[in-house]
Amino acid sequence: MDAKRRRYFQLEDAQGKKLATGVLYNEGNVQVLWRADIGWTAEQYSSLTPLVDLMPGIAVLRLQDAES
């Protein structure tokens, strides 16, 4: 059983276009799927901050309910 707590998220621009999607873990780690321009690249970060700095145009952080 995988007991890691996680929260799914989506980053969007001001028009509602999805820029990235990913998972926030309770420990603060972030796995993100982004860079649609090169085929949705998966990366891992220690927080969302570096991603927000790297990706211009983010207007919305949409947190999704955790899956049961």
DSSP 12-40: E-TT--EEEEEEEETTS-EEEEE-GGGT-
pLDDT at 51: 81
pLDDT of 38: 73
pLDDT attached to residue 1: 52
pLDDT of residue 68: 44
pLDDT along the chain (68 residues), means of 10: 81 92 89 80 89 86 76
Task: State the pTM of this model.
Answer: 0.78
